[in-house]
Amino acid sequence: MEELPNGFTGFSKRDPNFESASDAIRKAAIEQQGARPDAASAARAARNGWQAAQDALERLPRLDQMGSLWGGSRKANGSGFEQFVNRIEFNGVADNRFDLEAISNIPESDRRWAWVQVDRSAIRHNVMALRNHVGPGVKIMAVVKADGYGHGAVECAKTAFNSGADYLGVATLDEAIELREALINAPVLILSEPPVEAIPLLLAYKVMPSVYTPEFAIRYAEAADMMGQRAPFHLALNTGMNRIGVRYDEAVAFMQHIGFHRALDIKGTFTHFATADAADTLDFEMQLRRFTEAIANLKAAGIDPGIVHAANSAATIRYPETHFGMVRVGIAMYGYHPCPLTRGLIDLKPAMTVRARVTNVNAVPMSEGVSYGLHYRSPGSVKICTVPLGYADGLWRGLSGRIDFIVGGVPFRQVGSICMDQCMFEVNMRTAASRKFLTPQIGDEVIIVGEQDGIAVTMDELAELMGTISYEVTVRFGERLPKVYV
């Protein structure tokens, strides 16, 4: 039978060059004493060394204590971090060399040289532009799901609400709780029906769910009634997208089925358009007709539908007849057009730029390759600059060799396969009368997405190359990159 690898406790054979921890401690003690000790001295030295190691380990926080030590978040921003630092001792003395306030204030853009920059003034501009577009009699729901489409839900919610938004829309209960724990008291609607088990959290955090199943509606009402509360909700109607909602022609029957419960309090009724961004309007018109008929039927049955809302960003901009009592704006609030058909109808300013700094500059000889697969080969007389972001940060690997980065108002071609956490671009060192000559240095700022000196790389351009929409691109960039607000 083949022997297992040597060097593990319990195996019969041992590599002759293997040195155990106790042997190393004993050897160190011998060298320190300058003489060969007897067996008792050696054993004593080993025990003392082992005990010293154990004592040092005991002074460090255990893995199961890390959550409480960090105060629930592994950031240098509170008593949890202070406890962690003070627990680490050297030679039995607490390490007080750190200025906790100073290190906690190191900007995220200096902890990693890649970041998303979010312009709050652009969000304010967009909300105000949308407000002027729909008029004063229509409420605005700012949709901040998916961490504000990658822009940061809390900051965007605060900015939108302070700029004229009336409601906040999220996709999940945890997204709503994040807003509440940030002390945001605006009305918050979950744009789907959460699990029954989440009902206590809805009531505790004062969050409204969408409702479209009688089982959830009754359980929600019962829980609220037991606590002496009302159970506010918005009724979701399915008018043709066939994703969620009560079928449009069953709205009255549904409300009559659940309407006996005294705690239920309908605050709104809504649907969602599947093709408001399409040139063909047939399906859109059918959904709009179904929705208006459902609302009319509810009213005829003596049921107040509450705030009526249907318009997403595309419908808000294209179709005034869909504004009803409230519009739901998502991508438009962040400055991106939901489709080419909305361009020219409203002035929007993109709120997100993606930036990085050069972390390495390398003169690569002719014919040598760069990055995984070595698909790019140096033509000579070039420098290869590295920036610390990659496909784990939203820069899709399929964009490799197909996009430009901007440095000093000059576009440079990205080269080599985009890695998980890094990627490279090429700087041509050959002189040309028609080209501005630059030699980027470590620390120079690079625009990954954004505009500089009239040169731009846009989310829409990346989305087209990726075969997707700008929504997905912004969300991807916002997942891991730190956010800096200006």
Catalytic residues: 145, 372
Residue among 157, 243, 141 at smallest CA distance from 193: 243
Residue among 282, 200, 297, 208 at smallest CA distance from 246: 297
Tokens 């606590």 sit on residue: 227
Query: What phi-psi label fits residue 180: left (phi over 0), alpha (psi between -120 and 50 degrees) or beta?
Result: alpha
326 within 8 A of 310, measured Cβ to Cβ: no
322 within 8 A of 295, measured Cβ to Cβ: no
Residue among 295, 222, 233 at smallest CA distance from 268: 233
Count of all residues that appear for the chain in the document: 486
120 within 8 A of 159, measured Cβ to Cβ: yes
> Using CA atoms, how far apart are residues 203 and 224, in angstroms rounded to an integer?
7
Spatial neighbors of 120 by CB under 8 A, at least 6 apart, are 155, 159, 351, 485, 486
User: Is the Cα dihedral 425, 431, 437, 440 positive or negative?
Assistant: positive
> Using CA atoms, how far apart are residues 278 and 319, in angstroms rounded to an integer?
12
Helices (H), 206-274: 214-226, 251-258
> Using CA atoms, how far apart are residues 149 and 137, in angstroms rounded to an integer?
27
Phi first, then psi: give them for residue 139, nearest 5 degrees.
-75, 160
User: Is the Cα dihedral 95, 98, 101, 107 positive or negative?
Assistant: negative
Element (H, E) at 412: strand 410-415
Question: Which residues face 115 on adjacent strands?
Answer: 355
Residue among 191, 299, 197, 297 at smallest CA distance from 235: 191
Rounded-to-10 torsion of CA 286, 291, 297, 298: 170
Q: Which amino acid is at 383?
A: K
